[in-house]
Amino acid sequence: MLGDYAAVGVLLAIVLTIPIGGYVVTWLLRPKRAYPLKQQTYECGLETTGDTWVQFKVQYYIFALIFVVFDIETVFIYPWAVAYKQTGLFALVEMMIFILILVMGLAYAWRKGALEWV
């Protein structure tokens, strides 16, 4: 069991060397002639106006909220799916009720216009 994850750990360690190695190699090879004009923000050849780090519309975060609801749902559905063959008809009915509640939630969000990207 733990041995399975040891392989994942080794993979992570080896994969970490790729981007870091890339940075090191390019740091050795690249020219380093930076000056302020070159380091300007790439924005239509003009200097940027105003602050970039602005607040986003609240509509944007509603998507995140709905996502959280459905993601938690996944946490419940996956064990159900894996154990489905042992549990039989009872599990099916119960999951249908669960999904029905979710669909009602989705329909409510839809009706309220929470799914409109503006």
In sequence order, which residues have a C-beta less than 8 Å from that of residue 113 and are 6 or more positions away? Answer: none
| 108 touching other proteins, by CB under 8 A | no
Note the maximum CA span of the chain: 70
| 45 touching other proteins, by CB under 8 A | no
Q: Which among 78, 66, 75 has a CA at the least distance from the CA of 117?
A: 66
Size of the chain, expressed as the number of residues it contains: 118
**In angstroms, rounded to a whole number, what is the distance separating the alpha carbons of residues 36 and 34?**
7
| 23 touching other proteins, by CB under 8 A | yes
| 84 touching other proteins, by CB under 8 A | yes
What is the contact surface with other proteins in residues (CB under 8 A)? 3-8, 10-12, 14-16, 18-20, 22-23, 25-27, 29-34, 36, 38-43, 48, 52-54, 56, 60, 63-64, 66-67, 70-71, 74, 77-78, 81-85, 88-89, 92, 95-96, 99, 102-103, 106, 110, 115-118
